[in-house]
């Protein structure tokens, strides 16, 4: 088995496409007005409009209602990313870069739909070795 993607359901696909393209600096490919993907070497973040839910049988997910998942991106330097994004984040900032007990330095913020996003950099020897496998 291979974990390949996470999909966000949104009522405004283009808003999230712009947001994730801007924060990652990576291209987001729009396949239709209701579906786009940000492909990274490790995983894909899919962004889908509410109309796509009909293909799965109806009202199975609600946009902007996530209260349990965090979308995480490993970055080369979380402090540099914070400096780059700090003006853009504004009230979306949840936590400035902080070193966590498990060895990652993390920046936590919300996307326009309120989903939590974590940019992190492994900083302890154990965390670095874990991600360099």
> How far apart (Å, rounded) are the C-alpha atoms in residues 37 and 5?
9
- For every residue of 88-118, DSSP letters joined together read HHGGGEEEEEEE-TTSEEEEEEE-TTS-EEE
pLDDT, one tens digit per residue, over 16-66 is: 999 999 999 999 999 999 999 999 999 999 999 999 988 888 777 888 998
Whether the per-residue pLDDT at 133 is higher than 90: the answer is no
Residue 106 · residue 10 · CB < 8 Å: no
Sheet holding 35-39, edge to edge: 5-10, 44-49, 35-39, 29-32
pLDDT digits (tens, 9 = 90+) for 78-100: 999 999 999 999 999 999 999 99
pLDDT computed for residue 8 by the predictor: 96
The token duo for 132 is 């360099």
**Domains defined for the chain, CATH in brackets:** 1-56 (3.30.720.120), 68-133 (3.10.180.10)
């Amino acid at each position: 088995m291979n974990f390949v993607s996470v999909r966000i359901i949104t009522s405004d696909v283009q808003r999230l496409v712009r947001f994730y393209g801007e924060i990652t600096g990576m291209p987001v490919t729009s396949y239709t007005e209701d579906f786009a993907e940000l492909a990274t070497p490790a995983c894909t973040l899919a962004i889908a409009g509410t109309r796509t839910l009909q293909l799965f049988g109806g009202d199975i997910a609600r946009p902007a209602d996530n209260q349990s998942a965090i979308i995480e991106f490993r970055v080369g330097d979380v402090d540099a990313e914070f400096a780059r994004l700090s003006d853009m984040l504004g009230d979306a900032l949840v936590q400035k870069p902080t070193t966590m007990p498990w060895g990652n330095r993390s920046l936590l913020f919300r996307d326009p739909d309120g989903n939590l996003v974590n940019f992190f950099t492994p900083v302890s020897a154990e965390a670095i070795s874990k991600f360099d496998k």
